[in-house]
């Protein structure tokens, strides 16, 4: 009931904001590349905010960050800010816009393909509005993962070997969520169910919407704890 109430408030807020919206007009698709070079940082804090478009995030950057941005309206221009604070690098990636742009009346061609460095400990925060997201995070050195989605489907790949434990927070609005988890590393999933189904395979039920894998049950030293707050949509958890 709490989730439904929150969604209702969000819907009213969105309706009120329509008076301040700008609607995209057709134009040529622009393409940009951005790079954040390595420095003396010992860890990274990465904040990704995408209002509208397709988001793809994975490892593979030789530098701290390498991104390719495609967009077709000036209000959706990407902005990459990086600051080195002591031993930590702070990276913020967002869209340059003063008013929210829904892109009504045409297909939206905004697409971000972002590569992060897998060698440095990273706290990752992903915040999307109207967007489908593919987060292929297997092989990274995550210290914390926070995902907030508005409208759209999200796929999160956490498979593979992990050397250190970390927490994952997922807050979804409207859309389906798919999570790939490893077999060898302990995994605990706690799901606050909204309107939708929870589909899990090869997991052990530990309570009301709480599930663990066999490695967790056997006392794995490395554990991924996932806290999922679901809105409208299904969640599927698969071993990989």
Query: What digits encode the pLDDT tens for the residues 151-169?
Result: 999 999 999 999 999 999 9
Using pLDDT thresholds of 50, 70 and 90, give the confidence band for residue 23: very low
Task: Tell me the mean pLDDT in the region 90-94.
Answer: 98
pTM of the model: 0.85
- 230 pLDDT band, cuts 50/70/90, is confident
User: What number is the average pLDDT over the span 126-143?
Assistant: 97
- State the pLDDT confidence band at 76, using cuts at 50, 70 and 90: confident
Are 108 and 136 contacting, i.e. CB atoms less than 8 angstroms apart?
A: no
Q: What is the pLDDT of residues 170-186, one digit of tens each?
A: 999 999 999 999 999 99
Report the C-alpha gap between 83 and 45 in whole angstroms.
10
Measured CA distances, 7 to 95, 102, 123, 132, 209 (Å): 24, 19, 28, 19, 21
Domains of the chain, residue spans = 2-239
Asked if 209 contacts 178 with a C-beta cutoff of 8 angstroms, the reply is: no
Give residue 106's pLDDT band: very low, low, confident or very high (50, 70, 90). very low
Q: Is 12 or 37 the better-scoring residue by pLDDT?
A: 37
Q: How far apart are the first and last CA of the chain?
A: 33
Question: Cβ(112)–Cβ(133) under 8 Å?
Answer: no
Is 199 within 8 Å of 205 (Cβ atoms)? no
């Amino acid at each position: 009931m709490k989730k439904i109430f929150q969604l209702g408030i969000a819907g009213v807020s969105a309706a009120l904001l329509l008076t301040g919206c700008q609607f995209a007009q057709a134009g040529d698709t622009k393409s940009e590349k951005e790079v954040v070079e390595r420095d003396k940082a010992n860890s990274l804090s990465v904040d990704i905010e995408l209002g509208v478009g397709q988001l793809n995030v994975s490892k593979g950057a030789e530098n701290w960050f390498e991104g390719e941005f495609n967009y077709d309206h000036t209000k959706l221009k990407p902005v990459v800010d990086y600051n080195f604070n002591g031993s930590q690098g702070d990276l913020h990636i967002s869209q340059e816009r003063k008013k929210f742009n829904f892109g009504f009346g045409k297909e939206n061609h905004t697409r971000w393909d972002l590569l992060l460095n897998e060698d440095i400990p990273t706290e990752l925060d992903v915040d999307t509005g109207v967007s489908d997201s593919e987060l292929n995070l297997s092989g990274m050195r995550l210290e914390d993962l926070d995902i907030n989605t508005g409208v759209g489907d999200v796929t999160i790949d956490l498979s593979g070997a992990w050397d250190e434990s970390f927490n994952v927070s997922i807050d979804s609005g409207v859309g389906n969520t798919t999570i790939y988890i490893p077999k060898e590393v302990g995994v605990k999933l706690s799901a606050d169910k909204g309107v939708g189904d929870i589909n899990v395979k090869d997991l052990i039920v530990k309570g009301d919407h709480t599930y663990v894998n066999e490695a967790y049950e056997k006392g794995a030293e490395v554990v991924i704890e996932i806290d999922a707050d679901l809105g409208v949509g299904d969640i599927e958890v698969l071993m990989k």
